[in-house]
Structure 1
């Protein structure tokens, strides 16, 4: 058995207290032989005093040895637990260990999520680039094997190679833009412009694409002119992505894409609505992820990079705005965002 000097001194002290009480009782025994009530009162008072002294001594010993053990343990614990606090008790130490455990668990879960996202991200990039690369390889092999002698085949295959290269370049440009947005390297070039005028220009640009899908594009506005303060080029990119998506998914007769602008809380509210296939509820929260496609069977040879909505989200966040989406499956989808109104 290990000898502790402080414990020995405490036991001597308690023994002395008990002997003192015994001496007091022995000296006073002749004072209350006839008064038993006074005897019991004195006995209870003595027991109470002894109990209090015992509690204080034992509590002191526990705290003293506990803190000494905590100081020993702290040499092997992380600094964020001890934090040079020498007044910790076991309860506080246990709470800090529990809090650190919860924090580490959360960090591990976050790291697992990031690792899963990294794997999906690399897999998606590989998948997106594999299709045009294999296409280019196939056409080049055909030309090398003699197809170049046939002018019709040569021109057709060179044109397809050009489209595949253009798609690769689009993917690379979009990825570069995404990375610049996320790292904060892109600065906005804000200016004052008429949003309705910009939308009309974009409708003219996208009209041919809409005609191919037998889709009508309509602008609804509460005012002929809507002046906003934003980066015109990047807002153009936002609108082109949203309108192009609406055209692509409006796969029904009398398909309509409606762009609505209105003033709300000193801002210009922009809504892009279609009456297309809509989005299933379980997919709705993922549509702004990189490379996520609503249709797994969507044609990947249409030149898109699968980054359109992710770029839209980043552009609007760079403007300090958010984009929201509402959709009813097989009925249609509505995207909406706001821009600062100016005079």
Structure 2
């Protein structure tokens, strides 16, 4: 039975009881039949008008419930874009508002699930590709060595060196995947310690000294005289800085300059900026540069561009510290380079 019919029946029953009570009162008041009939007719007329008003007054209730029912049907079929109109009494308007808020949250959750599924498929495809290339190379060189195709010692040593490099790349990719999965699963406990930013920069630059010297790059560092220590996990933040610097080195021209600037923000954070003199990137690339396995140039291989996990790992580590990370870049036509930045919490 519909709610509106139920309410009308309830109203009719209560009105009937009132009419019966009034009719009995009229009789016991010793009125003439003419007066009893007249009063009864007036009472019945008033009851009819009341029922009619009740009928129209319940229409907004029926519409509101019907709208919510239709929307629940759409949700059951996987459609979360609809909105329930906020009509009827204030309680039903609040219910519609809460219902719309719920559908919005559900839509957001399902969009994240769909995005995660797409990312998972891309992850499997990219991992398969990045594993297949060095594995094929290793297999080819090993077969050549097994078949005694190589006779001279120099070529034999070169083949062994190539196999060593390829296995090193495989190990690096596996370690990156393990680190990323560990961060996603919350397996890395945040245990910060007091650390100075200048020590962080010095340690990271020393580990990249060979790459900097190979491309004859200059480092321009701008640090304020008084910079408060930060609360970080040093090894994790060195990984972040090394990943960003490695990216800057790879895209900088020979003999160029990489600028590093540190400054204290108004919030309790220190911001590090790393500016290179590379070709920069398009706006579409800058929005996706921190995605897993994303490469601004799809033709890049692991030899020239890495697996596309370094910046994704850097983002996860910075967010684990409660900071933010981003990039500002001119278009590739301007050749003004890219500026990566991230924030570190100040030690309190």
User: In 2, distance between residues paired with 1:98 and 1:304?
Assistant: 45
Displacement of 1:114: 2.3
The question of whether the paired residues in 1 share the 8 Å contact of 2:292 and 2:309 is answered with yes
Residue 288 of structure 2: SS of its match in structure 1?
A: coil
- For structure 2, the 5+ residue unaligned runs are 1-5, 24-30, 60-72, 77-91
Q: Given the alignment, which residue of 136, 144, 148 partners 2:138?
A: 136
Single out whichever of 48-57 and 98-107 deviates more from structure 2: 98-107
C-alpha distance in structure 2 between counterparts of 1:313 and 1:328, whole Å: 21
What are the equivalent positions in structure 2 for 1:1-343 lying under 5 Å apart? 13=16, 27=34, 49-55=46-52, 107-223=109-225, 227-251=229-253, 254-265=255-266, 266-302=268-304, 304-329=306-331, 330-342=335-347
TM-score (norm 1): 0.72
Offset at 1:318?
A: 1.2
RMSD between aligned alpha carbons?
4.2
Which one is further off, 314-323 or 330-339?
330-339
Distance 1:45 1:250, change over 3 A: farther
Cα pair 2:12 2:51 within 8 Å, conserved: no
Q: Which ranges of structure 1 fall in alignment gaps of 5 or more residues?
A: 32-41, 63-75, 79-90
> 1:258/1:147 Cα in 2 relative to 1: closer, same or farther (>3 Å)?
same
Provide the rounded CA distance (Å) in 1 between the counterparts of 2:128 and 2:12: 74
Q: Residue 151 of structure 1: CA displacement?
A: 1.6
Task: Identify if the C-alpha distance between structure 1 residues 224 and 256 changes in structure 2 by more than 3 Å, giving closer, same or farther.
Answer: farther
How far, CA to CA, are the matches of 2:203 and 2:263 in structure 1?
18
The 2-side partners of 1:198 and 1:100 are apart by 45
Preserved contact between residue 143 and residue 154 of structure 1 (Cα < 8 Å): yes
Deviation at 1:255, TM superposition (A): 1.9
Residue-pair matches, total: 297
1:3-32, Cα deviation, whole Å (9 max, x unpaired): x9x97x959949x88xx8xxx9x936xx9x
Based on CA coordinates, which of the two structures has the bigger radius of gyration? 1
